[in-house]
Amino acid sequence: MRAVAVYPTKREVRVIDHPEPKLTSDTQAKVRVLDVGVCGTDREIISFQYGTPPEGSDYLIIGHESLSEVVETGSKVSKLKRGDLVVMTVRRPCPHPECVACRQGRQDFCYTGDFTERGIKQDHGYMTEFVVEEEQYLHPVPRELRNVAVLVEPLTIAEKSLEQLWMVQRRLPWDCPGANQSPAQCRRAIVLGAGPVGILGAMALKVEGFEVSVYSRSPNHEEKNRILGAIGIPYIAAETHSTADMAKMAGPIDVVYEATGASSVAFDVLKHLGPNAVFIFTGVPGRKAPIPVDTDEIMRNMVLNNQLVLGSVNAPPQAFESAIQHLGAFARQWPDALRSVITDRFPLDRVADALQEQAGGVKNVVSVAS
């Protein structure tokens, strides 16, 4: 079968012929891959800055944002049948008995660092025709979401962040003054970045009830502005508004969902948080030259305002479940805006074009089964 492989030592990326996988246990399912999304992590892997092939292999099959269709099930597979649409999780547990996180299925919190990630770290990914996987890592998706379900995985980044946010804010009285309101309904959230993770995160915060604005320095932002405008989220351009302007426009900030990996903007925004705010980092910055930061100002504000900074990576199974629920809600409320998050689709033989970032685009998808 065909697969998109990265050879880090040879510095090559190409479509290869890879053996088609077979079921090796009765708890597994075999799936035909339909769609694979391309993200910043993939772009780092294909430029040989990130990613590790499985042990004994000189290449890594990339792709971790996927939608597939079940074609075969082992005899102990109970929740899936042939024809079901599924999204696969990314991270697999480390083998160490003392890692309480991995032993409880929370490899997103692995202590040892010896986890693997499909398409990223020591495990082949999904940009290929067929995959075999344990049922526990497959999440069924309703047929209505066929055209957008490849967005489930990037949305899980926000879902885990939201889970963490609700948990950490139990540290204080965080209810709204009015009765019967979700705490979100009187809170303001700022999303940093208008890439797919930012836009999907903004949608999730919005359906939860937050008043959301997106602050971003995307060049050619007309399309992003249009998508966000259609769902009632203001886009504040960093080119024309400083972080101080943004903070003044938005009002006291309760939550920041960072989805850019740009540390200079992030630390600038950190100065403008409101009382008891939570700042969530999800972007992974590249290594650049150090920048000056007024650490006294940040530390003073953080202490005097009980603020919290939280990093979040990867996502647990329940985040995939909530992402599937939320994606359904987005599709009902904002069908056109949601569809526009996918800028373009490419067949596998045009993967090179898919891997290229388009000016002003949001998400490229490789339609493997087309």
Instruction: Select from 35-43, 105-113, 212-220, 268-276 the region that touches Zn ion (CB under 5 A).
Output: 105-113
Q: Which residue matches tokens 């003073």?
A: 300
Distance, in Å, from the CA atom of 268 to the CA atom of 79, rounded to the nearest integer, reads 47
Minimum Å distance from CB 106 to Zn ion? Answer: 9
- By CB under 5 A, residue 94 contacts Zn ion: yes
Distance, in Å, from the CA atom of 193 to the CA atom of 357, rounded to the nearest integer, reads 15
Minimum Å distance from CB 64 to ligand BGC? Answer: 6
Distance, in Å, from the CA atom of 79 to the CA atom of 139, rounded to the nearest integer, reads 9
Residue among 25 and 356 whose Cβ is closer to ligand BGC: 356
Binding to Zn ion (CB under 5 A) within 290-309 occurs at none
| Number of chain positions touching Zn ion (CB under 5 A) | 5
Taking CB within 5 to 8 Å according to partner kind, which of Zn ion, ligand BGC, none is near residue 112? Zn ion
- Bridge partners, residue 235, by sequence: 214
Minimum Å distance from CB 109 to Zn ion? Answer: 8
Angle at 222 between CA 220 and CA 227, to 5 degrees: 130
- Torsion sign over Cα 13, 17, 18, 23: positive
The residue ranges that bind ligand BGC (CB under 6 A) are: 39, 41, 64, 90-91, 117, 120, 313-314
Residue among 110 and 253 whose Cβ is closer to Zn ion: 110
Distance, in Å, from the CA atom of 305 to the CA atom of 322, rounded to the nearest integer, reads 31
- By CB under 5 A, residue 242 contacts Zn ion: no
Residue among 141 and 273 whose Cβ is closer to ligand BGC: 141
- The per-residue DSSP string of 235-287 comes to EEETTT--HHHHHHHH-SEEEEEE-S--HHHHHHHHTTEEEEEEEEE------
Residue among 46 and 110 whose Cβ is closer to Zn ion: 110
Minimum Å distance from CB 153 to ligand BGC? Answer: 6
Distance, in Å, from the CA atom of 255 to the CA atom of 205, rounded to the nearest integer, reads 10
Pairing of strands 308-311, 273-281: parallel
Taking CB within 5 to 8 Å according to partner kind, which of ligand BGC, Zn ion, none is near residue 158? none
- Binder of Zn ion out of 49, 112, 182, 333 (CB under 5 A): 112
Rounded (10°) angle between helices 295-304 and 263-270: 50
Binding map of Zn ion across residues 34-53, x = CB under 5 A, - = no contact: --------------------
- By CB under 5 A, residue 102 contacts Zn ion: yes
Taking the C-alpha atoms of 173, 159, 305 and 193 in order, what is their torsion angle to the nearest 10 degrees?
Answer: -150
Minimum Å distance from CB 92 to Zn ion? Answer: 10
Instruction: Select from 91-99, 136-144, 239-247, 318-326 the region that touches Zn ion (CB under 5 A).
Output: 91-99
Minimum Å distance from CB 30 to ligand BGC? Answer: 22
Minimum Å distance from CB 12 to ligand BGC? Answer: 21
Taking CB within 5 to 8 Å according to partner kind, which of ligand BGC, Zn ion, none is near residue 102? Zn ion
Taking CB within 5 to 8 Å according to partner kind, which of Zn ion, ligand BGC, none is near residue 99? Zn ion
Residue among 59 and 235 whose Cβ is closer to ligand BGC: 59
Minimum Å distance from CB 315 to ligand BGC? Answer: 7
Q: Which amino acid is at 268?
A: D
- Binder of Zn ion out of 99, 162, 205, 319 (CB under 5 A): 99
Which secondary-structure segment (H or E) carries 73?
A: strand 65-73
Q: Which residue matches tokens 């082949």?
A: 124
Distance, in Å, from the CA atom of 280 to the CA atom of 256, rounded to the nearest integer, reads 6
Residue among 154 and 206 whose Cβ is closer to ligand BGC: 154
- By CB under 5 A, residue 110 contacts Zn ion: yes
Distance, in Å, from the CA atom of 116 to the CA atom of 108, rounded to the nearest integer, reads 11
Closest to 343 measured CA to CA, from 206, 209, 218: 218
Instruction: Select from 88-96, 130-138, 235-243, 283-291 the region that touches Zn ion (CB under 5 A).
Output: 88-96
> Taking a C-beta distance cutoff of 8 angstroms, is the pair 238, 218 a contact?
no
Distance, in Å, from the CA atom of 245 to the CA atom of 138, rounded to the nearest integer, reads 44
Rounded (10°) angle between helices 196-208 and 317-333: 80
Residues that bind Zn ion (CB under 5 A): 94, 99, 102, 110, 112
